[in-house]
Structure 1
Amino acid sequence: MRKTTHTPAGAALSETVLALFRVTSGLLTAGDRLVADLGLTSARWQVLGTIVAAERPQPVAWLARDMGANRQNVQRITNDLLRDGLVELAPNPHHRRAALVVLTAQGRQAFEQAMALEAPWMNHLAEGIEPADIQAMQRVLAALRGQLDAELSEAAGG
């Protein structure tokens, strides 16, 4: 087996990615606990947030694209949200089979309650971290996301 070596940037990124996996796991676990009493999970909360952030109702495939997620996973979560009355489907004038996902009043209320819990949680997590450091992290993550998107697009032939 041939041993490969990282460049200094590659080694730093490799360690950072492992840290991101641990942080992501922790955020999802803590987020699940934070919104459990609202009947939400981190995944449901994320889908609701994507619906709220969209300029207009979108089909599941578009929501998944906006989230950078797998369409089948977003469909499963959307089905759960439908079952619980947090979203409903509306006809899509542009595509007969791809209905638009729309928040219900109950869904909007659940999302707003989750966001009321989110602000103090984020404030607490940010304690001791300089805003400039957080902004630098955002820039690095955006650059990494751009690299990944380009690589995935190229692999898909686009």
Structure 2
Amino acid sequence: MTDPDRPDYPIDEAVEAADGQPVAPVSQTRRRVLALGAAGAGAVLSIRPALAQTAGSVLTCQIPVPDSGRAGSFIAPDGSTVPAGTKGAFAPPGRPFQGEDVKRAMAGGRLPGTTYESNRAYVNYIRRLQRGQGGFTCFASLQMPRG
């Protein structure tokens, strides 16, 4: 039984396009499509490790509190920097915070080596970071959704 709109071609027979120009035999076309699909799958497999590496580097980036431009300043409860020794403010931590620690703190956890109050002040400071301040790029990348 043959359908006049779908003629049966032998698999290796050349096919003509609508303009009458010959195109590749059907089997060659199928091979090209399969090859393109395989190449696309390879690209996906090579991109995934790169994304995983990027996600990993985001978690290991560092955020100094305060940044080097404000070194020696204390952190007020609202996250602003104040002169050292200001009453009610917190001395800077001994080392920068890792991206992983900051991400956890933003989700309700606590930064390492902090009390409830100092944690709040440091997280407020981090949330106030702006372009050009040390740690901003790390903080911004923590805010980006990962797929």
Do both proteins adopt the same fold according to a TM-score greater than 0.5, normalized to the shorter chain? no
TM-score under structure 2 normalisation? 0.33
TM-score under structure 1 normalisation? 0.31
- For the pair shown, the structure with the greater C-alpha radius of gyration is 2
- Which has the larger helix fraction? 1
Which structure would you say has the larger RCO, counting Cα contacts within 8 Å and 6 or more residues apart?
Answer: 2
